[in-house]
Chain A
Amino acid sequence: MSANHDDHHDAPDGHGRALRLGIGGPVGSGKTALTAALCRSLGPSLRLGVVTNDIYTTEDADFLRRAGVIDPDRIMAVQTGCCPHTAIRDDIAANIDAVETLEERFGPLDLVIVESGGDNLTATFSRGLADRQIFVLDVSGGDKVPRKGGPGVTSADLLVVNKTDLAPMVGADLTVMSRDAAAVREGKPVLFTSIREDRGAHSVAEWVAGIVESWRHQHSHSHL
């Protein structure tokens, strides 16, 4: 069993490495917009890395690079061969490889964000890949979506309902969404955002800063 000891990345408890935050959710809900917003808000205070899981090409990675919110080298794109959920749940090898490459190249890092490819309501991150996860919905799918549940909505550490600016246009009732989400999430937090209006997604950034802080506390080397 000693063969593993030279490889600290195999340490299952996460000592001495960055918090890995998964951002999942349906196609177009605003995952990349949120990733960019978090880089904007947290970039000045935290050492960041980003992994994107694009369905086609490297669209999301390119968007983030162009957005200029983070050193382009700190963004890695993973291709998922028709199956975005496989890459974050069943076979996470390529994502782990990308995260570890970022940590090796730019480490130590505080936070590595892994954006999943847009998928359905059942897609969640494996615990082998993400320590915490955010599920991003938008209001345009209708206010029924939180009620429908699914592992992403019910079990994510944070549920973000994005594009609140569009609510009046699509006739989505935010109080209904809030009530239904609270019911299926047993008290876990829900935040409403409009990244169009708040380009730093400040409420979400604050939540992320909080979990990074407690992760650091629990997993710093001094606790070994």
Chain B
Amino acid sequence: MTKALVRARAILRTGLDDRGLTRIETMRSDPPITLRQTAPGEIHLVSTGAGPLGGDRLRLDVEVAEGTSLTVRSIASTLVLPGTGRSLMEIHVYVASGATLVFAPEPTVLAAGCDHRMTTSIELARDASLFWREEIVFGRHGERPGRCHSRFDATVDGHPLLRQEFVVGDPETDASPAVFGTARCVGSTLITTETAAEEPKSEPREAEVAEGVAVLPLAGPGTLVSALAADAVELRHRLSWGESRVLP
């Protein structure tokens, strides 16, 4: 029904070089996503052109090979704009044994009228480490957000670790004191560490709460920092506090 305006696919794969250091094995991307290596083992997502726009279908595949580590950031926030039909951002990730992935791009901002779908699926090997931060901002300053439906699935060694969906822009639930309350942004950081996988029962991990943020030890080997805030700055501040409780 909806005509795809852009179909873009980006692929990112690491490997070990002769000296046992991480090198970028594959780095392929099409506009509007551009990947740029900024340091050894560090990639920045650079937006070239606006978007995603309604109708765009973007896909990013990340594979972090055994024993390597990769950091992915972005230069600026992603502004999701309306267009013809729904936009789609799909991310598939595999983090191998002994590998580390830090994924911490700038927030996704839902402009008025957008209709966005995000799916992220992450497969972790048993002793992989992950730091995955996601921030969604409900509209530019003073703007009502369009619609967004995100789904996040993370498994460890084939076992479900965290599955979460967010629906933003549904007036039925947006202002619900059970869902987002009065917040204008939602964010979460999933952290798994090697030690968590090795000694799942080492010491009982306690949840922690502060204003608008909770540190939530999951049933599986990982911790979720979950935050709500009035704006992106406050959101990042709250998430950082929670992250520091997990990774001092």
Contact flag (A, B; Cβ within 8 A): no
Instruction: Please list the residues of chain A having a beta carbon within 8 angstroms of any beta carbon in chain B.
Output: none
Instruction: Please list the residues of chain B having a beta carbon within 8 angstroms of any beta carbon in chain A.
Output: none
